Amino acid sequence: MNLKITLMNCISCIIRILEIPSIKLGQNPIPGLTFRVELAQDGSYQNSSIIEAQIWGDLAEDFQKYYFINDYLLIEGYFSMRVSNHSNKKIPILTIFQIYPFLLTIPNDQKNL
């Protein structure tokens, strides 16, 4: 799939993890994750936005180990719009380069420790 990336902007925001990502290896040996997140905007679920997020490198491996569905994270990253040549739809992408834990869930296997 041929994609063109436009509108790169730096962003800091709080996100909620909506799905468990899996590590994907592309043509290079750098691990990457792609998953959906919800942007917390004003505390109202009616105004929330669900977008695709991606993380690369060691941060991707740490993310998969320590964070779970429904965790809230303060992140820094780049927001961009990918345009697919096949459908000409703009797809918002959040590339995360820094994570700060905000509200985390405790996995069931660690609640009795």
- Residue 7 · residue 81 · CB < 8 Å: yes
Give the span between the Cα atoms of 20 and 25, in whole angstroms. Answer: 16
Reported as a single tens digit per residue, the pLDDT across 37-93 is 998 766 555 656 888 999 998 999 899 889 999 999 999 999 888 876 777 788 888
Q: Which pLDDT does position 45 carry in this prediction?
A: 57
Strands (DSSP E) along the chain, which ranges?
3-17, 23-25, 31-39, 49-56, 72-84, 90-103
CATH H-level superfamily of 3-103: Nucleic acid-binding proteins (2.40.50.140)
Domain boundaries along the sequence of the chain: 3-103
